[in-house]
Amino acid sequence: MLLLTLDTNTDILSCSITNNEKLISEINIYNLKNHSINSINTIDQVLKNSNLTLNEIDGFILSKGPGSFTGLRIAFSIIKAFSYSLNKPMISISSLDCLNFRENFNGITCSIIDALRDEIYINSFSNKESIITNSYEGDIIHIDKIKEYLEEKHKSINDILFTGDGTIKFETQIRKYFPNSYINKKPITSYDYALLGLEKFKLNLFDNSKISTPSYIRVSQAQEMLLKKIYD
C-alpha cells in the first residue's frame, strides 16, 4: 500500500512516501516558518524521489494536531483536496497518539506538547495497541498538574516515558515530579505518522474528506479575543 504522509504541524515540514512499513522517500525541512510556500514543492520532490505520480498513491495521511493552527490548516487543505479529487482515502492522526505509538516501552508512555502559558497538551497510554483505535483527542493542563493528572488516570506511574516537544521546555518539572522517568526528545516526522496511519488503514478508519478538521483542543488566540469582545 503506497501512502503519502504530510506533517506541517510544527516548524518541521515533513513529507514521506511509504510502501506498507517500508520508507521509500522522506524529506524533513527543519526550522521552517512558511509551510504554505514549500509544502507543494516538497510533495512534488518526494514523488520524484520515489519515481511515482500522485495518481499511484493509494491513500493519504496527515497530522491533525494539536499544534500550529496555521500549519494544520495548510496540511488539511492540501490532503483533503488530494483525497476528494482523486477519490482516495485519507486519515488524520493525532500528534499525541503518534508520539506515544512510536515508542516501544514496557510501561506508560506520555506525550506532551507545549501549549504555551506553561500549559501542555497531554495524553498517555499503558497499552500501545489501544492507540490505533483511540478517538479521545487528549487534554490541556498546566504543567504543575501533570503528576495529579497521571495518578488519576493510571494505577501505577512507576515506569513512565515522556515524549514530545514539551519534554524540552519542561524537563526540569518532569525530573522533579518523576525522577526515575525516561525522556525522548526526538521530534516526530511524517514516517512516524505513516506507521500509525498504516494500522488505521488496515482497519478502514478513514476520515471523511469533506468534513475532516484539525484537532485544536482549545481555540486559537484570535478566537479567544473575539469571544472576549463578544461576551465582555
Q: Are strands 22-29 and 59-65 parallel, antiparallel or unpaired?
A: unpaired
pLDDT at 231 over 70: no
* Domains of the chain in sequence order: 2-95+188-216 (3.30.420.40), 104-184 (3.30.420.40)
Q: What average pLDDT does range 48-63 have in this prediction?
A: 98
Burial class (CB in 10 A: 0-12, 13-18, 19+), 37: exposed
Which residue from 109, 77, 108, 78 is spatially nearest to 96, judged by alpha carbons?
Answer: 109
Task: Please give the grid coordinates belonging to residue 176.
Answer: 522533579
**Residue owning grid cell 525530573:** 175
pLDDT per position as a tens digit, 123-141: 999 999 999 999 999 999 9
Res 221: pLDDT: 46
pLDDT per position as a tens digit, 84-120: 999 999 999 999 999 999 999 999 999 999 999 999 9
pLDDT at 223 over 80: no
What own/partner pairs with CB < 8 Å and gap ≥ 24 does 149-155 have?
149/122, 150/108, 150/110, 150/124, 153/124, 154/108, 154/124, 154/126
Q: Is the pTM of this model over 0.85?
A: yes
How many residues are recorded in the chain?
232
Task: Please give the grid coordinates belonging to residue 85.
Answer: 479529487
Among residues of the chain, what percentage have pLDDT more than 90? 87
Res 220: pLDDT: 47
Task: Please give the grid coordinates belonging to residue 189.
Answer: 516526522
